[in-house]
Amino acid sequence: MAKNNIRNSDIEFKIESELFALVKSITNLNNKYQKGIVNENFFRKTLRNAMNNFLKLNFTLKENNLHLPDIVNRMDLSQEYNAVLDLINRVSTLNITDRESSLRSKSFLELPGITSEITSSFITLMDALTLEGLTKKELIFNLFDELNYNLGKFPGLDDILSKVKIVQTNVLNHIENLMSNRNLKEKINDDLYGIFKEFQSKLNITS
């Protein structure tokens, strides 16, 4: 039990350190931008990197059953943290590139939840394809539809969505064979896993 407590304390300390560094660095960046010390291009690129880091931090919190508001309050960082989130949300609505402009339809705060839904959809679909004696075609169709729907909610994933739809078309064209052919199931699963890893890499959420 003592070892677990030490481990949890280490994790929380690491999270607090990363959160503090993120908040302070973004605050300093904004101050420099407002004073004209850094240009707009550098400001936006750095802020996009910060968004990715916040996403990764969110996953770490979820994996360890920790709650961000509790940590922020304990660190007495609420005011600065909220100011940083407000800044990210405001900048994310600007028409920076095609990918960033699509963020206009989604708040930054929604993205970690959508990312979790996409991850869950990928895993559920791949798990279903490994089931022995799978006979319900509708289950596979519904899981593909769910994955496509979740991917469509996240901005900038058109290429990932397109690849999933190619796999889905392949499944539809060979659905009868898929139900009884283990090798085909494994091939489909490998294709989906490759797309899943690409999704993780694109969002830079792998460890």
The pLDDT tens digits of the residues spanning 155-174 come to: 778 889 999 999 999 998 98
- Three-state DSSP class for 157? coil
User: Residue 131 has what DSSP assignment?
Assistant: -
- Three-state DSSP class for 135? coil
CB-CB contact of 155 with 99 (8 Å): yes
83 within a domain of the structure (yes/no): yes
102 within a domain of the structure (yes/no): no
82 within a domain of the structure (yes/no): yes
Residues 125 and 85 in one domain: no
106 within a domain of the structure (yes/no): no
105 within a domain of the structure (yes/no): no
Give the total number of structural domains in the chain.
Answer: 2
Residues 117 and 196 in one domain: yes
Supply the pLDDT for residue 102: 45
What is the domain extent for residue 79? 2-91
Q: Which of 49-58, 90-99, 110-119 has the lowest mean pLDDT?
A: 90-99
